[in-house]
């Protein structure tokens, strides 16, 4: 029975839990390159991710970083998003995305 452990290793397959930092960085850098705002489907096309993946990231982990300037009331006809001016300013100063997210979380707790 002791030899069984040599033959049966526990392997973890599939993707890692949580959000992919590469995807977050790619989406944010694309938004930074388009400060006036960009259509969600265009973000998906340019980054190579599906529109549902981009929407999921925008609605969860990136929600504090973006402004939604969609066209249409209720369900938007055209979903356009852009980075908040504060985020753009900090990115241009050379701040790391993690630092910016930390600052925004702290600001949210104070307000």
What's 76's domain CATH number? 1.10.10.10
Backbone phi, then psi, for 51, in 5-degree steps? -60, -35
Q: Residue 3 falls within a domain, yes or no?
A: no
Q: pTM of this prediction?
A: 0.75
The total of structural domains in the chain comes to: 1
pLDDT tens profile 67-99: 988 777 777 778 889 999 988 998 889 888 888
**64 lies in a domain?**
yes
92 assigned to some structural domain = yes
Cα distance between residue 25 and residue 23, in whole Å: 5
Residue 52's domain spans which residues?
19-110
With respect to residue 9, please indicate whether it lies within any of the assigned structural domains. Answer: no
Question: How many alpha carbons lie under 13 Å from residue 35 in its C-beta half-sphere?
Answer: 8
Domain assignment present for residue 44? The answer is yes
- Assess if residue 81 is contained within a domain: yes
The series of mean pLDDT values per 10 residues for the chain, 111 residues long, is 57 68 91 92 94 92 87 77 91 86 75 49
Has residue 4 been placed in a domain? no
């Amino acid at each position: 029975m002791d030899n069984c452990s040599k033959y049966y290793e526990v392997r973890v397959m599939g993707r890692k839990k949580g959000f992919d930092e590469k995807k977050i960085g790619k989406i944010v850098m694309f938004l930074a390159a388009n400060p006036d705002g960009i259509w969600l489907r265009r973000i998906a096309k340019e980054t190579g991710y599906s529109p549902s993946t981009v929407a999921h990231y925008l609605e969860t982990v990136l929600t504090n970083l973006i402004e939604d300037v969609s066209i249409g009331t209720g369900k938007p006809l055209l979903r356009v998003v852009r980075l908040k001016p504060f985020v753009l300013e900090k990115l241009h100063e050379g701040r790391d995305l993690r630092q910016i997210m930390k600052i925004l979380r702290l600001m949210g707790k104070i307000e």
